[in-house]
Amino acid sequence: MTGLALGYGAPAGRAATGTASAIPIAGAGQRAAGSVRFEAVSKTYLSSAGAVHALDGIELEIPAGAIFGIIGRSGAGKSSLLRTINRLEEPSSGRVLIDDEPIGSLDENGLVALRRRIGMIFQHFNLLAAKTVRENVALPLLVAGVPKAEIDRRVSEVIGLVGLQGKEQTYPSRLSGGQKQRVGIARALVSRPEILLCDEATSALDPETTLSILRLLRDINRRLGITIVLITHEMSVIREICSTVVVLEKGRIAEKGPVWQVFGQPRHDATRALLEPLTPSLPDRIATRLLPAPVPGATAVVQIAFSGQTQPDLSALAAAAGTPVRLLQAGVDEIQGHAVGRLLLAIGGGPAADLTERLRRLSANVEVIGYVPADD
């Protein structure tokens, strides 16, 4: 991707200066713009069934340059919150600030300028079927009245950035889902926004394509320093790309924090429900024979959860148990440099209280979840 100079340090609508070079890597003070703050934001919809409180007193800060995830179950308020950032939704109360400036009082011209600073990509791509890749990407600049030479330059730059060289004259019907989403990303970036909003941007894609799109977004954030705010109902998406996550439930913040912390120590039932698809279930051969209390010859089934620690030392666990240990199941990821996950162990001998006390010297999150016959 050499020969590209997107000029992301330039104000919106102004051509970048300087010679063409590789896409700049963010840092060294290139960008300070792109922060978002919600102050007591609420949103109520009125319907024939009565008032629906989509958002209720949201207090939240998204720093410039972050990759910030908003997750929740259907109806949690994710889309309503995301769309207040570019005023596609107006809060019923409270206010939204971009770079410490409230956006609720902007006039028509101010709102147009704001939306040029905020790009958006969608679940179903929203491409115009009768226009080529190049024409779809160029559309925001045509509407803004940017000169043709500038349009040609910028469109070529972002098409190169998203890896669609050679597809410029292709129509959307001839593109894969992943390629369509890359067109959507290029179109969102061509106006040189400070903030990129992603509305379930990978929900229509298969897992392999989802991973490639998330890696592209992460690379865009790294190269350009652009703030990325994404909403999803999939914790796997959050784990792959985000640094910070907020969990919404019924229009309120259930919990928020660094991704590794929320994954490793979920405090709210909504978070635990969202994490359940990523949590291995107890093997059937264990679950069907699990007893609530020990019987002669029984083996304790011990769960050790890891959150923010170094990778578990199995030899140290066996030494601490002081008795034979068998690994039944393991699922430990490294998220943002922190070990997050759990081990399921079969440990024989000794009262449960003594066993857990010995193991807690190595990990605080130890739980005896039951007992099985020793031959399991």
DSSP state string for 317-371: HHHHHTS-EEEEEEEEEEETTEEEEEEEEEEESS-HHHHHHHHTTT-S-EEEEEE
pLDDT of residue 369: 85
- At residue 19, the pLDDT reads 31
The pLDDT of residue 25 is: 44
User: Strands, DSSP E only, in the chain?
Assistant: 36-47, 50-62, 67-72, 93-98, 101-102, 118-122, 195-199, 227-232, 244-249, 252-258, 298-309, 325-335, 338-348, 366-373
Give start-end residues of each CATH 3.40.50.300 domain in the chain.
36-275
Structure confidence at residue 108 (pLDDT)? 93
Backbone angles phi, psi at 357, to 5 degrees: -65, -40
User: How far is the CA of 248 from the CAs of 39, 72, 77, 79, 373, in angstroms?
Assistant: 16, 5, 7, 11, 42
What is the pLDDT, as a whole number, of residue 10?
A: 40
Residue with tokens 């923010």: 308
CB contact set of 170 (below 8 Å; sequence gap of 6+): 132, 133
Identify the residue whose tokens are 């409180």.
53
Which residues lie closer than 8 Å to 118 by C-beta, 6 or more apart?
Answer: 85, 86, 98, 193, 194, 195, 196, 197
Kindly report the number of other CB atoms within 10 A of residue 134's CB atom. Answer: 20
pLDDT, averaged per 10 consecutive residues of the chain (376 residues), comes to: 43 36 44 87 90 95 96 94 96 96 94 94 93 97 95 96 96 96 97 95 91 95 95 92 96 95 89 86 82 82 75 71 78 79 76 64 74 71
> Is residue 133 within 8 Å of residue 162, measured between CB atoms?
no
The 244-249 sheet, strands edge to edge: 118-122, 195-199, 227-232, 67-72, 244-249, 252-258
* Sole residue written with tokens 């730059």: 157
- CB atoms closer than 10 angstroms to residue 183: 27
Provide the pLDDT for residue 50: 85
State how far the alpha carbon of 303 is from the alpha carbons of 189, 307, 369, in Å.
46, 13, 7
Q: What is the CATH code of the structural domain delimited by 36-275?
A: 3.40.50.300
Nearest to 247 by CA among 215, 271, 266: 271
**Which ranges in the chain are annotated with CATH 3.30.70.260?**
284-373
Whole-number pLDDT of residue 308: 67
Structure confidence at residue 289 (pLDDT): 84
- Architecture in CATH of 284-373: 2-Layer Sandwich (3.30)
